[in-house]
Amino acid sequence: MDKGKLYIVATPIGNLKDFTYRATEILSNVDIIACEDTRVTSKLLNSYGINTKTISYHKFSEKQRSEILLKYLLEGKNVALVSDAGTPLISDPGSILIEEVKKSGINVIPIPGACAAVTALSAIVNDGIFAFLGFFPQKISEIEKLKNYINDFDLIFYESPNRIIKTLEILRELFGEIRVSIARELTKIYEDINTFSISQMINYLQRTTLKGEITLIIHKNNEKKEDFEFLSSATKLLNDGFSAKDTAKILSLLFGLPKNEIYKKIVENNKKNIV
Ligand code: SAM
């Protein structure tokens, strides 16, 4: 009897329309879908009219569920693995299943789609040289190890909104005024993507409702580009009809920098743009 195939299917990270034709086809045609949380995945399946049977597969049941799924595959059934959102295995379960399945010579087929880390990077100035390090470490000894990478790579982390300000304060303490980006609620209604110096970011976040999902990017230590990003916020406000004086006032409140210093930068930048 032919063995089945295991499809690793990426799902949207917010906007349900970010789902490929191929992914919907595969999920409609497999015999069973292994989901982190069947209730979460059922919303996606319902919106695409997919009626395939689901089974839960989460980090606490990986070993035991892998055995059941392997049995299905050996019986010739096709299985798809999905996470609650994004690409399976990227800070999500699935590795144990793939290990077991590969040992039995079963085909593992990736079906690409959304991933928060890559989506964030695609809208932030970077040179494509980065290190994705999963969830931000909790232990200070682990955080200190980042000094080994921070000069060479942009570092990408997943972080919770409850911890983000504390995390930025620790990073400032260890690495000084580095540049960071935060991509919040990607692909959703309140999507917000910014790059600032770490103090500017802390000020900004303290004045924002801190909810939703966050991807944090710590930029290489050797790059100093905060003026570029800062001036992009100023330009947005000027385009919205604020005067240079009011723009300076707003940004001074937002980033805790002296108003006249900001005003000077705005005027200088404006002169450059006119020329
Ligand atoms: N496998 C997923 C992927 O491919 O992106 C990531 C799963 S991980 C358990 C969930 C974390 O990803 C969240 O806590 C958050 O840090 C980040 N994340 C997920 N969706 C996001 C979004 N829409 N905007 C920003 N970050 C997001």
Q: Give 47-78 pLDDT, tens digit per residue.
A: 999 999 999 998 888 889 999 999 999 999 99
Tell me what pLDDT residue 275 has: 45
Q: Is the CB of 115 under 6 A from ligand 1?
A: yes
Q: Is the CB of 163 under 6 A from ligand 1?
A: no
89 Cα–ligand 1 center, Å: 12
52 Cα–ligand 1 center, Å: 25
CB count within 10 Å of CB 119 equals 19
Tell me what pLDDT residue 274 has: 54
Q: Is the CB of 156 under 6 A from ligand 1?
A: no
29 Cα–ligand 1 center, Å: 27
Nearest atom in ligand 1 to the alpha carbon of residue 90 is 1
Q: Is the CB of 93 under 6 A from ligand 1?
A: no
Q: For residue range 194-220, what is the model confidence (pLDDT) as tens digits?
A: 999 999 999 999 988 778 999 999 999
CA–CA separation, 260 and 264 (whole Å): 6
* Prediction pTM value: 0.86
Measured between its terminal Cα atoms, the distance across the chain in Å is 73
Q: Please name the residue whose Cα sits nearest to atom 8 of ligand 1.
A: 91
Reported as a pLDDT band with limits 50, 70 and 90, residue 222 is: low
pLDDT of 265 > 50? The answer is: yes
84 in Cβ contact with 40 (< 8 Å): yes
Reported as a pLDDT band with limits 50, 70 and 90, residue 226 is: low
Tell me what pLDDT residue 223 has: 55
Q: In what order do the strands lie in the sheet with 214-218?
A: 130-135, 154-159, 214-218, 179-184, 192-197
Reported as a pLDDT band with limits 50, 70 and 90, residue 91 is: very high
Give, as one character, the DSSP assignment of residue 269: H
Nearest atom in ligand 1 to the alpha carbon of residue 118 is 5
Q: For residue range 138-169, what is the model confidence (pLDDT) as tens digits?
A: 999 999 999 999 999 999 999 999 999 999 99
Q: For residue range 97-120, what is the model confidence (pLDDT) as tens digits?
A: 999 999 999 999 999 999 999 999
Tell me what pLDDT residue 224 has: 55
Q: For residue range 2-46, what is the model confidence (pLDDT) as tens digits?
A: 999 999 999 999 999 999 999 999 999 999 999 999 999 999 999
